[in-house]
Amino acid sequence: MRLGLFGGTFNPIHLGHLRAAVEVREAFNLDRLLLIPSAHPPHKMADHVANAEDRLEMVRLAIQGEPSLEASDVELSRPGLSYTIETLRYFQDRFGPESDIHFIVGQDAFSEITTWKSYQALFVTAHFIVMTRPRSKLRSLEDFIHTQISAEYQYEPTSNRYSHPRWRTIFCLDITHLDISATKIREWVGRGRSIRFLVPDAVRSFINKKGLYR
């Protein structure tokens, strides 16, 4: 089972996330790709974060009609802060040691990974797929991996990945990066501007109906 886990605050989910998810699933031939909203994101407590049930509902609405993507409530059913290491271990237990777990993350979020709980253990537990942008600073990514994660990661240019003698692989994938952020969407809703074509219509209707981000 080739499993992809795409975690995020998804406050709200937008077309940038969805396009990225579809490209990663196809490129890595994943059997399942789960979008996992963080219930209590440790790094975003101060922001205007919509409640977790609403963010999960928006993920569900966003992927309606796209059977290759699934919404997961795993972090909502766990009390306390949402740590990725616990989510990875949960899926490892559930699908067994044979499962091939890939954690999907944008390069921006990846560059902050040293602030995540038990971050080195993440690389023992799951492969990583780092979504890069064409012409992104790959040299700095390599320095980052060597200085902050492990100097034993070796870059393999033909497959655009970093292999490790004991840990899981870090794959890189250039994706179509749509210049959309949830921050921008929240700001625009707050100012009464349209967010049409930035989020799926069902998500836009839900935000309007619930009066989120006003």
112 scored as a contact of ligand ATP (CB under 6 A): no
Tokens at 97, concatenated: 């040691």
Nearer to ligand ATP, 75 or 158 (CB): 75
Query: Is residue 214 within 8 Å of residue 44, measured between CB atoms?
Result: no
| Chain position whose Cβ is nearest to ligand ATP | 106
| Count of all residues that appear for the chain in the document | 214
122 scored as a contact of ligand ATP (CB under 6 A): no
Minimum distance between the CB of residue 155 and ligand ATP, rounded to whole angstroms? 21
* Distances 59 to 5, 51, 118 between C-alpha atoms, Å: 14, 13, 27
Nearer to ligand ATP, 181 or 205 (CB): 181
Tokens at 29, concatenated: 């031939």
131 scored as a contact of ligand ATP (CB under 6 A): yes
Q: What angle do CA 4, 84, 61 make, to 5 degrees?
A: 55
Dihedral (C-alpha) 117, 119, 121, 123: value to the nearest 10 degrees? 150
- Exposed, middle or buried, 30 (CB in 10 Å: 0-12/13-18/19+)? buried
Site string for ligand ATP, 147-186 (x = CB under 6 A): ------------------------------xx-xxxx---
Size of the site for ligand ATP (CB under 6 A): 18
* Distances 97 to 51, 94, 124, 144, 202 between C-alpha atoms, Å: 33, 9, 12, 28, 37
55 scored as a contact of ligand ATP (CB under 6 A): no
17 scored as a contact of ligand ATP (CB under 6 A): yes
Among positions 31, 108, 143, 187, the unique one binding ligand ATP when judged by CB under 6 A? 108
63 scored as a contact of ligand ATP (CB under 6 A): no
Minimum distance between the CB of residue 107 and ligand ATP, rounded to whole angstroms? 7
In the complex, the residues that contact ligand ATP under the rule CB under 6 A are 8-11, 16-17, 20, 105-106, 108-109, 131, 177-178, 180-183
